[in-house]
Amino acid sequence: MDPPLNLERLPGGIMNLNKMIKQVTRKTPIFSYWFYGCHCGPGGRGQPKDATDWCCQTHDCCYEHLKLKGQTVSSLLLHPAADKGTWCEQQLCACDKEMVLCLQRNLDSYQRHLRYYWRPHCRGQTPMC
């Protein structure tokens, strides 16, 4: 049985995102997800490789929507307390929460051979956000 997860009580930021991923998936994010498939970790291009990769692509789009609204996502990732409780922080946390829950729903799609996937193999049309 999985431990209870209270995502509403965790503040934003990349370190807390990593903690949430670890708690929900029981995988170490930097080894298991940061360079998984075509969309997990920094950047992303081409068609997602599986449902897990789709979670990351959707997360990228969620952040992209915040950027289009003029928010500075990168500064909140590094210093989430600077805007604690603001609309943007709440939206950032919602993006992170949805990704973590998506990863949890798709644990059975996780494929070890997609860890550290060579990004030049990521081809095809990148899905629109």
Residue numbering of the annotated binding site for Ca(2+)? 41, 43, 60
CA-nearest of 4, 17, 6, 5 to 89 is 17
Active-site positions?
Answer: 59, 96
- Spatial distance between the Cα atoms of 24 and 47, rounded to a whole number of angstroms: 25
CA-nearest of 95, 101, 96 to 24 is 101
Cα torsion at 88, 97, 5, 116 (round to 10°)? Answer: -130
**Binding site per annotation, positions:** 41, 43, 60
- Spatial distance between the Cα atoms of 83 and 97, rounded to a whole number of angstroms: 18
**Which amino acid is residue 71, in one-letter code?**
Q
